[in-house]
Amino acid sequence: MPRTAAAPDVSPSPTDATASAEFVPRRWLEILARAGGRWPQLAILCALLSTLVLLAQAWAIARLAQGVAIDREGLATLWPAIAVLAASLSLRGALTGLRGYAGTRASQQIRRRLRERLLQRFAELGPLWVRRQHRASLANRVWDQVESLHGYYADFRPQTRLAGLIPLMLLCVVFPLNWAAGLILATTAPLVPIFMILVGIAARKRSQEQFREMDRMGRHFMDLLTGLKTLKLFGSARRGPQVEAVSHAFRKRTMRVLRLAFLSSTVLEFFTAVSIALLAVYLGFHFLGHLQFGTWGDSPLTLQTALFILVLAPEFYQPLRELGVHYHAKAEAEAAASDLAPIVGSAPFTQEADGEAGTQTHYANSDLPAARPQTRKLHSLMLEEVCVRYPNQWNRQTSTLTPPALGPLTLRITQGERVALTGASGSGKSTLLNLLLGFVEASDGLLYLNGHPLSHGLPPGMATWVGQETVVLSGTLADNLRLARPHASDAQLEAALDNADLLDWYQHLPRGLETRLGEGGQALSGGQARRLSLARAFLHDAPLVLLDEPTASLDADSEARVIAALKRLGEGRTLLLLTHRPELLTLCQRLIHLDDGQLVQDRPLPLPTPRGDA
């Protein structure tokens, strides 16, 4: 029985992961932090140990001041305090360095995992989704927005823990010495985070505006570079005023963010200075005899105790000040999270994230796991009343569906058939290929492989694709070929090149399989690049080969070579060839013609007449 769509919007949407509940950036960032391993805990531990060493350092400073200024002691009695001071200074420096290293390592691990997940999601969402995005926006997400999380995980997030733990530790030390000093510290401390939050609210908004402006600038520059040839032909290549206007707008947004960052630092420094001054005034008036409270019992407040408290006072506020200094990192991270989370999902590093996005390959009522070798056999491929609708084919105003991009279509292809797929532009040919490759899903109907129903395209390894454009990566020839089979031997690579009619070209390369292609490497003509994609298809050795105008834009000689290679590729395999060229129809046994997504013709093709026959 054909299945019906649950909703009009049947294509995978990156917003599905966060659409069900209100998105909270901080919660998503906390989930992301799990990829940091034990490094964040090590950073916090180093900071706490540094605080304990600080107590020894403060004692040593106070002891030296008391011994030199009041007791007039000699070096013989003060050397233990001097040794403690020197050791504590060295140890605190080492702990501070280790803390910074641990925070950086945590940030590196998280950002690396997030980039991997983003690229994985791009692959899962498929080329149709990627094609709808601007290339500058994708690059901005993978690089700039992920990079903006560094300050959050390396500095701000550990500091949120330390801002509560370190002041509490120091209060536990100060209160037994003088309750008035402890009360001053405890009362003035909340002023710092309150004003930090007020400044941070505006900083987050400014960071979001900066990200949008950066994305706009990237799009503008990418469009100029991509269309430079067209602009030059029409005499419009001088775009200085437009580039200057976009750059100026981005500069203004950036300066607004920096102004808020400096403002937050200034506000925190002001309230910290006022609080320390208030504590110093209390201690001074206490020694003058004007404020005789704060001590426990009859024990007097000594200079050593007062200096010990004064040395600890700046360190008491330091975690709060650092939290304020790094607060703009939180604003940047939350702005980036709002854009990245809809793509990678609400649980980016768990299996649930993949399930939410709906990108897993499922085989309904099927025993066809992709890893089994027998699943690479194709006996029959069946489409039963299949319909494909894109999201924009749902009319929300009238609550009706426009005609589907493909279907309802019933079609059967058997093993070894070579089928030509024809039709005008927009007739559904590319949609059919995308359906088989799993880039789009059927809203109605079912796809069967060897009698087993599939719910999300063909299993991995069942089909290979040869399109009109060949992607040549920056790497060696071997790297480019092993995209199709990662563990192929050199002999297998050479055999694939021979089948694709590239052996003569390969033998004249300066370094053979180690010759670099792509940017800064060996240049390839259009025909050589197309045959390189055919060599990948030979290596992949899938039972079904999908081809989209494989001879488009080629000269006669290159076209003849590609057609000869396609004949070899079709031996023992099933071919589905999207084409309009008569020369390619001679390769096929059957012609299927589509119009407006409907099957209008399905007929056998005559066998080609052998050469020499009249």
Task: List, for residues 532-591, the tens digit of each pLDDT value.
Answer: 999 999 999 999 999 998 888 888 888 899 999 999 999 989 999 998 888 888 889 999
Per-residue pLDDT at 240: 61
Q: Is the pLDDT confidence value at 339 over 80?
A: yes
User: Which of these, 11, 4, 2, lies nearest to 392 by C-alpha position?
Assistant: 11
In sequence order, the β-bridge partners of residue 516 are 476
pLDDT digits (tens, 9 = 90+) for 432-473: 988 898 888 888 889 999 988 987 788 888 999 888 888 888
Cα distance between residue 3 and residue 443, in whole Å: 8
Q: Is the pLDDT confidence value at 361 over 50?
A: no
Contact 582, 512 (CB under 8 A): no
Burial class (CB in 10 A: 0-12, 13-18, 19+), 610: exposed
What is the chain's alpha carbon radius of gyration, rounded to the nearest angstrom? 34
Cα distance between residue 299 and residue 341, in whole Å: 59
What token pair was written down for 464? 């290979």
Per-residue pLDDT at 360: 38
Per-residue pLDDT at 255: 75
Mean pLDDT of all residues belonging to the chain: 81
**Which of 454-493 are b and which e, b meaning 16 or more Cβ less than 10 Å from the residue's Cβ?**
bbbbbbebbbbbbbeebebeeebbebbbbebbeebeeebb
- Kindly compute the dihedral angle of the four CA atoms of residues 106, 108, 109, 115, in this order, to the nearest 10 degrees: 140
Per-residue pLDDT at 370: 38
- For 591-609, give the DSSP string: EEEEETTEEEEEEEPPPPP
Amino acid at 216: R
Q: Is the pLDDT confidence value at 111 over 90?
A: yes
Highest mean pLDDT among 94-108, 267-281, 321-335, 427-441: 94-108
Contact 175, 312 (CB under 8 A): no
pLDDT digits (tens, 9 = 90+) for 46-69: 999 999 999 999 999 999 988 888
User: Which of these, 209, 231, 227, lies nearest to 219 by C-alpha position?
Assistant: 227
Per-residue pLDDT at 124: 80
Point out the least confidently predicted range of 27-31, 128-132, 307-311, 541-545: 128-132
Cα distance between residue 299 and residue 316, in whole Å: 24
State phi, psi for 21 to the nearest 5 degrees.
-145, 160
pLDDT digits (tens, 9 = 90+) for 386-440: 998 876 655 666 666 678 888 789 999 999 999 999 998 888 898 898 889 888 8
- For 433-485, give the DSSP string: HHHHHTSS--SEEEEEETTEEESSSSPTTSEEEE-SS----SEEHHHHHTTT-
Mean pLDDT on 315-336: 82
User: Which of these, 370, 439, 382, 436, lies nearest to 577 by C-alpha position?
Assistant: 436
Helices 75-132/39-65 angle, 10° precision: 150
Per-residue pLDDT at 493: 95
**Would you place residue 489 in the very low, low, confident or very high pLDDT band (cuts 50, 70, 90)?**
very high
Amino acid at 236: S
Residue 71 region by backbone torsions, left for phi larger than 0, else alpha for psi between -120 and 50, else beta: alpha
Contact 267, 199 (CB under 8 A): yes
One-letter-per-residue 3-state SS of 294-318: CCCCCCCCCHHHHHHHHHHHHHHHH
Per-residue pLDDT at 363: 35
Find the largest Cα–Cα distance for the chain. Answer: 126
Q: Is the pLDDT confidence value at 95 over 50?
A: yes
- Sorted by where each starts, the structural domains of the chain and their CATH numbers stand as 16-357 (1.20.1560.10), 463-604 (3.40.50.300)
Point out the least confidently predicted range of 36-45, 141-150, 162-171, 268-277: 268-277
pTM above 0.85, yes or no: no
Burial class (CB in 10 A: 0-12, 13-18, 19+), 428: buried
**Would you place residue 478 in the very low, low, confident or very high pLDDT band (cuts 50, 70, 90)?**
very high
Per-residue pLDDT at 357: 40
Give 503 or 265, the one with higher predicted confidence.
503
What token pair was written down for 308? 């010990």
Per-residue pLDDT at 377: 78
pLDDT digits (tens, 9 = 90+) for 240-267: 677 677 777 777 777 776 666 666 667 7
Point out the least confidently predicted range of 186-200, 322-336, 337-351: 186-200
Place of tokens 């963010």: 257
Per-residue pLDDT at 16: 42
Per-residue pLDDT at 15: 43
Percentage of the chain lying above the pLDDT 90 cut: 32
Cα distance between residue 532 and residue 524, in whole Å: 9
| 81: three-class secondary structure by DSSP | helix
Cα distance between residue 233 and residue 274, in whole Å: 66
Mean pLDDT on 284-291: 84
Cα distance between residue 61 and residue 84, in whole Å: 9
Percentage of the chain lying above the pLDDT 70 cut: 80
Mean pLDDT on 20-41: 83
Cα distance between residue 462 and residue 493, in whole Å: 20
- Kindly compute the dihedral angle of the four CA atoms of residues 143, 146, 149, 154, in this order, to the nearest 10 degrees: -80
Residue 37 region by backbone torsions, left for phi larger than 0, else alpha for psi between -120 and 50, else beta: left
pLDDT digits (tens, 9 = 90+) for 146-204: 998 999 999 999 998 998 899 999 999 999 998 899 899 888 887 777 766 666 666 66
Contact 586, 592 (CB under 8 A): no
Per-residue pLDDT at 207: 64
What token pair was written down for 269? 């420094």
Per-residue pLDDT at 614: 37
Per-residue pLDDT at 204: 62
State phi, psi for 290 to the nearest 5 degrees.
-85, -25
Give the contacts of 612 (CB within 8 A, at least 6 positions apart). none
Q: Is the pLDDT confidence value at 1 over 80?
A: no
In sequence order, the β-bridge partners of residue 413 are 381
Give 362 or 85, the one with higher predicted confidence.
85
